[in-house]
Amino acid sequence: MTKPKMTLQLKPLHPVFAAQASGIDLTQPLSDADASAINRAMNEYAVLVWRGQPLTAQQQLDFAQSFGPLDIGLKRVFKRPERLADERLIDISNVDAQGNVAGRDSPKNLSNFANQLWHSDSSFMKPRAAYSMLHCLIKPSWGGDTEFADLRAAYDTLDDRTRAEIQDLQAEHFALHTRILLGDDAYTDNQKKEIPPAVWPLVDTHPGSGRKVLFVGVHARQIMGWPTAESRMYLQDLLEHATQRERVYTHHWQVGDLVMWDNRSTLHRGRRYDISERRELRRTTVNDTPEAKLQAA
């Protein structure tokens, strides 16, 4: 007897956003109906947590491509040795190109420390990232959680004066801002020119839900037309507002988890763990382009 096909089921994980998703086997090809259901859920919850999904690299790529063209982030401009064969897989780990746990002062761990700052993926690029999907392969004995903040709720809870003040402001997002902040400032002028900043409005509208978003994050380094010191302090104030604990969901990883989030309406950051212990996650990310299949039918 054929089993009835299961449909997407959602269990809220937080009062503001985020839900645990089940009922769809992500190791199998995704139907158009399932992709539309996931899009609808993403528009509502912005973060979906899938448990017990032992995806191969190709299965993760196939799942991600159901939503559009893949973003490879800074790999577009920085060509460095990679241990994952497919450049569309982003290696979120403390493992070097030779497969060994990287040293504390390695470039690999510099990226990991930058990931511990509140950000949205590829906000420093045009097109920016839409959905990201992070899959857990190996977890350390403690720490290494990932936190998410809802930028829609951040806008909704702004006071009227601040809403009016930021309504028409734009901020410049720069890829190397976090690296320089963490002490890695050995970049040539030519390297910096390879990654021109992207400018985004502080008040954006999420295309899927129609909700207003406070689009901030650590990549934002300058409010256009403002003095640098004043703009950076103001951006820091807005970031502190957006990441108040009541608007944060903390994900405690289990091997086989896949967490999916919308970079246009959330921020995220990794949390500290023992970097001498192996930690391996793989990320796939969809570009926010006209070709992306992000709208719910």
User: What tens digit of pLDDT does each residue of 16-36 get?
Assistant: 999 999 999 999 999 999 999
pLDDT at residue 75 in the model = 60
pLDDT at residue 241 in the model = 98
Predicted TM-score (pTM) of the model is: 0.94
Q: Is residue 251 classed as helix, strand or coil in its secondary structure? A: strand
pLDDT at residue 187 in the model = 73
Domains of the chain: 9-287 (3.60.130.10)
Residue linked to tokens 């998703």: 21
In the chain, which residues have pLDDT < 50?
1-2
Q: Other C-beta atoms within 10 Å of 107: how many?
A: 14
Q: Is residue 54 classed as helix, strand or coil in its secondary structure? A: coil
pLDDT at residue 183 in the model = 83
What are the structure tokens assigned to 211, written together? 């909700």
pLDDT at residue 2 in the model = 47
Beta bridge partners of 49: 20, 259
Cα dihedral across residues 99, 103, 109, 113: positive or negative: positive
- Residue 85's Cβ-count burial label (10 Å; 0-12, 13-18, 19+) is exposed
pLDDT at residue 191 in the model = 75
- Quote the CA–CA distance of 214 and 204 in Å, as a whole number: 7
